[in-house]
A and B are shown apart, each in its own frame.
Chain A
Amino acid sequence: MGKKLGLFSAVSTGIGMIIATSCFISLASGAGAVGTPFIISIVGVFLLNMMSIASVAELNAIMPNLTGGLAQYMLAGLGPLVTIVTMTGGYIISNIFAAPAEGAMFANVMCEFVGHDIPPAVFSVSLTIILIIINLRGVNMSAALQTVIASFMVVSLIILGVMGAFGLAPGAEVEQPAALSTDLGDIMPLTATAFWLFIGAEFIVPLGKDMKKPKRNVPLAMFLSFTIMCVIQVLMVLGFKNYTPWAELGAANSPHILYAENMLGSIGRYWIIIVAIFAAVSTQNSIIGCVSEICCGMAKSQLLPAVFQKKNKYGAPYVVILIMGGITILIEATGLSDNGAVQFLILTSSLFWMLTYMVYHINVIALRRKMKKVPRSFKTPFFPIFQIIGIAGTAYMMCNISTDPQERIMIFILSILLFLFLVVYAVYWVKHKLKMPLLKSVGVRQVMSMEDPLYYYVRHREEEDKKYFKKLERQNKKNSKKSKSVKDTALNSSSDSDTDVGQNSEESPPTYNGS
């Protein structure tokens, strides 16, 4: 492992994960529905998710520097069943759909740039392949890319936001009311839309073990990412009011392009296109990098097959990266990522993401009772008020996952089916592989010891030794074949000129073997 990551790289990862191309659409649809009062929903979700992040930061303080991290917190708080269901549903499945959806958006934007002669799938698949290679080169390489991209995005969005909010752009300002509705009954359900604007900062946690001063930097980076994003989103909504008619904003397929074009003309259009490309790249990069770390951590805790914890010489969990990347490429290549069904599935799995945030709060409450005196470098203030508000607020967002009642019911039905499937899988895995009680939490001591690479080996010594000896045997066979073929080539080349040497050489192996 090379240099340790600083606070800046960590904030970049957080922002890279939070800013996705789909965020622009959520932001515009919320603002298009009620106007500037959407800021109330934004700030509300910002505060709610800050509480969730505070709980994650406290869990990280109790169990610092774990691979992946997030799954282990669940395991220590609520046991293996809850961990497998929430982590698989909330992070793995939702991101399996989110990564190709971002790829598709990248491809669409690229097509706007270079024309429609090249199929969009070529762009999305190429991007995923590049990101797989970058992630296979380890955390530092991935973080370096993330830092460059996130810096550009943040600076661009702040400039575009400030110009829009204060009416500094050369484009014609729109005369329209600031608020389309001031009824809280219209504004509050939009918190579920705003939820998408503030997720993913917890992906900084898996980087903890590669960071400088993780005790200080992990929570700080998460809070900074959310705060920067909140400022950007609020500025953008104010900017929409000045430069984009609310009706056009809600109906536009690419509202961010419309906004920038209205402000700065073609320069704004190309600028925001570059930002959108970067947003898609950074989100997919964060997903591939961080979800693979989470899976690796789950494998270390034996919540997923052991093969997922294999790492290459750069320290990257290559098996998960390849599987994750492979699925993404498959969805992109078949054109499914462009389909509305994927968006619907993302929305469905986001319910699990919300559930995960609720479970973090419950974990903090459980561990405060169980391990009251454990030193915590970060403690959530006003315990348990933040946790209770966080749980209630997230439950409210889950109930309002979609403003369309029919879609909401469909999401609930699919979520229940997915939930049942995950429960069946989790019960099978915990009973047959882990051989543990389903709902009994695993002690922090055991969770921490699972981090040691020897933990798995000691408990599966026979299987691992067998594998090792088989591998050794294969290698020996390969080596002996290689040396034989080298000898044969040498013999063939020398047999014409010196027959005696060749005969002696052919006779020598039996003598050697015999001795």
Chain B
Amino acid sequence: MEFSRVEIITNQSKLQGLIERLSKPSFRQKLHKIGVSGITVTSVLGCGVQMGTSEYQEQENDVMQLLPKTLVMIVCATKTVDELVEIIKNELYTGHIGDGKIFVSDITNIIRIRTGEEGADALNKSTVD
């Protein structure tokens, strides 16, 4: 099975809705069905093409201004990426600057260090124990 990594960079405030949705058992079941078994959330600093300019400002910043953001990483089966991305897009969309970006990349292998399991086995519950 092929796997992909979906990374989302968004405003911290906007992430709350996504986290709330991820917390719902029905939604987690849906995610599990499409092959998502875990999620990693990191606080980061960054800016995009607007160089950290606020939405109301008339002119864009000349110098990069790093703003607090959240980076979410999800690994899922490649065939379910589109469905996952659709869910994330709809959840995070507000129409305002700062909604964020989604990066999708291929994963060549996944290894669970403790057991040495690889690929899908490394993502699912271990069968070695």
What is A's interface to B at a CB cutoff of 8 Å?
Answer: 62-65, 215, 374-377, 444-445, 448-449, 451-452, 454-455, 457-459
A457→B56 CA distance, assembly (Å): 9
**Does A65 contact B93, Cβ atoms closer than 8 Å?**
no
Q: Which 10 A-B pairs have the closest CB atoms?
A: A375-B89, A452-B56, A455-B56, A449-B55, A454-B56, A375-B93, A448-B95, A375-B90, A448-B96, A377-B90
Nearest CB of chain A from residue B65's CB, rounded to whole Å: 16
Assess whether B127 is interfacial by the CB under 8 Å rule: no
Complex-state Cα separation, A455 to B55, whole angstroms:
8
Interface residues, chain B, CB within 8 Å of chain A?
A: 54-58, 86, 89-90, 93-97
* Bound-state Cα–Cα, A451 to B94, Å: 12
Q: Determine the chain B residues whose CB is within 8 A of the CB of A458 once the complex forms.
A: 56-58
Partner of A449, one of B56, B86, B93: B56
Candidates A62, A454, A455, A459; contact of B95 at CB < 8 Å? A62
Contact sample, A vs B, 18 pairs, CB 8 Å cutoff? A64-B93, A64-B95, A65-B94, A215-B90, A374-B93, A375-B93, A377-B90, A377-B93, A448-B95, A449-B56, A452-B54, A452-B56, A454-B54, A454-B56, A457-B56, A458-B56, A458-B57, A458-B58
Q: B95 contacts which chain A residues (CB < 8 A)?
A: 62-64, 374, 444, 448
Contacts of A452 in B (CB 8 A): 54-56
Q: Report the Cα distance A458→B53, complex, angstroms.
A: 13
Q: Which residues of B contact A374 (CB under 8 A)?
A: 93, 95
Contacting pair A449 B97 (CB below 8 A): yes
The CA of A375 and the CA of B88, in the complex, are separated in Å by 10
Q: Quick one: closest A residue to B94, CB to CB? A: A64
Looking across the interface, which residue of chain A has its beta carbon closest to that of B86? A375
Q: Are B97 and A445 in touch, CB under 8 angstroms? A: yes
Instruction: Tell me which residues across on chain B come within 8 A of A448, comparing CB atoms.
Output: 55, 94-97
Complex: A375 Cα to B86 Cα, angstroms: 8
Across-interface contacts of B55 in A (CB, < 8 A): 448-449, 452, 455
Q: Which residues of the other chain, B, contact A377 by a CB distance below 8 angstroms?
A: 90, 93
Q: How far is the CB of A239 from chain B (nearest CB, A)?
A: 42
Minimum distance in angstroms from B98 CB to a CB of chain A: 11
- Nearest-neighbour CB distance to chain A for B88, whole angstroms, equals 9
What is the distance, in angstroms, from B121's C-beta to the closest C-beta of chain A?
34
Q: Compute how far the CA of A472 lies from the CA of B78 in the bound complex, rounded to whole angstroms.
A: 61
A319 to B114 alpha-carbon distance, docked (Å): 66
C-alpha spacing A449/B55, complex, angstroms: 5
Closest Cβ neighbor of A453 among chain B residues: B56
Q: Is B96 within 8 A of A449, CB to CB?
A: yes
Given contacts A64-B93, A448-B95, A449-B96, 17 further A-B contacts (CB under 8 A): A62-B95, A63-B95, A64-B94, A215-B90, A374-B93, A375-B86, A375-B89, A375-B93, A377-B93, A444-B95, A448-B55, A449-B56, A451-B96, A452-B55, A452-B56, A455-B55, A458-B58
Residue of B nearest to A377 (CB): B90
Contact A459 B58 (CB under 8 A): yes
Q: How many angstroms from the CA of A63 to the CA of B95 in the assembled complex?
A: 6
A65 CA to B56 CA in the complex, in Å? 16
When C-beta atoms are compared, the residue in chain A nearest to B58 turns out to be A458
Q: Least Cβ distance of B58 to chain A in Å?
A: 6
CA distance A449 to B89 in the complex (A): 20
What CA separation (Å) do A459 and B55 show in the bound complex? 13
Residues of A within 8 Å of B94, CB to CB, are: 64-65, 448
CB-CB under 8 A from A455, the residues of chain B are 55-56
Bound CA–CA A454/B55 (angstroms)? 9
CB distance from A69 to the nearest CB of B (A): 12
On chain B, the residues within 8 Å of A444 by CB distance are: 95
| Chain A residues closer than 8 Å to B57, beta-carbon distance | 458
Nearest chain B residue, comparing its CB with the CB of A459:
B58
A210 to chain B, nearest CB (A): 16
Chain A residue with minimal CB distance to B57? A458
Q: A346 to B40: give the CA distance in the assembly, Å.
A: 58
A465 → chain B, closest Cβ, in Å?
16
Q: Give chain B nearest CB distance to A482 CB in angstroms.
A: 37
List of A residues within 8 angstroms of B86 by Cβ: 375
Residue of A nearest to B95 (CB): A448
**Measured CA separation A229–B7 after assembly (Å):** 46
Residues of B within 8 A of A62 (CB): 95
Closest to B85 in A: A375
List the B side residues contacting A376 at CB < 8 Å: 90
